[in-house]
Amino acid sequence: MKKKNTITLFLAMLLLLSMLSGCGKSKGVTVGSKQFTENILLGEIYAQLIEAKTDIPVTRKLNLGGTAVCHLAAQKGEIDMYFEYTGTAYNELLNHALEAGVTKEEILAVCQKELNENSQMTLFDPLGFNNTYAVAVKTSRLEELGVETLSDLSTISDQIKFGAGHAFYTRLHDGYNGLVDTYGMKFKETLKMDTSLLYEAAHTEDLDAIIVFTTDGLLKKYDLTCLVDDKTLFPPYEGAILCRNDVLERYPELRDELNTLAGKIDDETMQMLNYQVDIENRSVEEVAKEFLISNGYISITDQDNSKIYTEQEVLDIAYKEAGINSSQASEIEVELKTKDSVEVYEIEFDYDGYEYDYVINAKTGEILSKSREKEELPTT
């Protein structure tokens, strides 16, 4: 009897705590992400894309724990979509062993089919990049060593100092053992160290070859090149957005938007994006927005149709295009007009004896026409 009281008290406490947070499902979609830059960045990119292209309100739950947290949260409806990798889904979510010889197409097909059947989730088509393990060598030393592929490296492996993170050595088939078995590597030296130190060591040439992730922004920072895995030892980790089916039924318009980026981000682009956040320390929001706008997936006005550029903003666009700064221009005229039911700015200014004319879309900031003519000198 008394034990029962304790249990009741315990449950009452839990109930009280759950009320404190004032939960309750909000409308719209919730985008989640795992806790590393690339995944957070892609979560943010999808969040902004949905916000710009649809009227669906978006909630962000970025930087969650690993795959387990994201997937369970998605199953439970705490998040509706997150960015997943085919190798991870195949191995960790669907419990298939990642054996050598299975192609990336096969893995993708299994993931799409079984995630749909087992978890009622849709894995969209991959974006194009493959964030897997790779052996990287300093770009400037490729010729000196005469290597392009892992098979090339194996022929000189007895002169190579090799380094990798601890996890790489513990992987059954596709880690260090795989390198030795598949390519017959016999490295001169083999070191284990923290990933963050590896890049520095390859850069200073203390190590000749290191294990990296193919989309890491640090590859760009330290100017490293990934060798081609010509015997496909490393399993594919193609990135794709994973969304619960009921959300797609509730918001059918989502399907098109989630397909927009399929095949559009390759390894280099992803490296570049990661680089901007990790090394240039720019905010995830800013990098995501810039990527979407500069590739034309969204325009600035998607978010707010009533907003148009100010005169100063379009002038800056024109100056930038002309390659001058604002103090150099003279005789500046800016006029807002409507041409063919499009609001445009007509801009004129003089610089260095030339007259510049620009027509700029007032909503998108796009330059519609430009001209540069020798100024007519006043006749005497």
Partner 1 sequence: MSNILPAMLSHLRITFLGVLAAVILGLPTAAFLIRHDKLRKMLFIIVDAIQTVPSLAMLTFVMLIFGLNDTTVIVAIFLYSLFPVLRNTYVGLASVDKGTIRAGKGIGMTDLQIFSMIRFPLAAPMILTGIRLSIVSALGLATTGVFIGAGGLGMLIWRGIQTRNMGMMMSGAVPVFLLAILFEYVIGLFEKQLNKRQRRSIS
Q: Under the rule (CB under 8 A), what is the footprint of partner 1?
A: 2-3, 6, 9-10, 13-14, 16-18, 20-21, 23, 32, 35-37, 61, 63-66, 68-69, 72-73, 76, 78-79, 196, 277-278, 281
Nearer to partner 1, 82 or 345 (CB): 82
- CB 26 → partner 1: shortest distance, Å? 12
Nearer to partner 1, 85 or 358 (CB): 85
Nearer to partner 1, 9 or 109 (CB): 9
Do 5 and 35 contact (CB within 8 A), yes or no?
A: no
CA dihedral 86→88→89→92, nearest 10 degrees, is 160
Q: How many CB atoms lie within 10 A of CB 105?
A: 11
> Over 60-96, what HEC string results?
EECCCCCHHHHHHHHHHCCCCEEEEEHHHHHHHHCCC
- CB 287 → partner 1: shortest distance, Å? 12
Q: What does DSSP assign to residue 226? A: E
The residues facing 225 across adjacent strands are 137
Q: What does DSSP assign to residue 175? A: S
Nearer to partner 1, 212 or 344 (CB): 212
Q: In what order do the strands lie in the sheet with 209-213?
A: 189-192, 161-164, 209-213, 133-138, 224-226
Task: Tell me how far apart the alpha carbons of residues 192 and 166 are, in angstroms, rounded to a whole number.
Answer: 6
Nearer to partner 1, 26 or 330 (CB): 26
- Sign of the C-alpha dihedral computed for residues 307, 264, 241 and 283 taken in this order: negative
Nearer to partner 1, 10 or 169 (CB): 10
- CB 45 → partner 1: shortest distance, Å? 17
- CB 155 → partner 1: shortest distance, Å? 35
Nearer to partner 1, 76 or 374 (CB): 76
The helix (run of H) or strand (run of E) holding residue 154 is helix 150-155
* CA separation, residue 288 to residues 29, 166, 284 (Å): 18, 32, 6
The helix (run of H) or strand (run of E) holding residue 369 is strand 367-374
Nearer to partner 1, 63 or 151 (CB): 63
- CB 61 → partner 1: shortest distance, Å? 4
- CB 200 → partner 1: shortest distance, Å? 11
Do 172 and 180 contact (CB within 8 A), yes or no?
A: no
- CB 288 → partner 1: shortest distance, Å? 15
Task: Tell me how far apart the alpha carbons of residues 102 and 110 are, in angstroms, rounded to a whole number.
Answer: 11
- CB 271 → partner 1: shortest distance, Å? 15
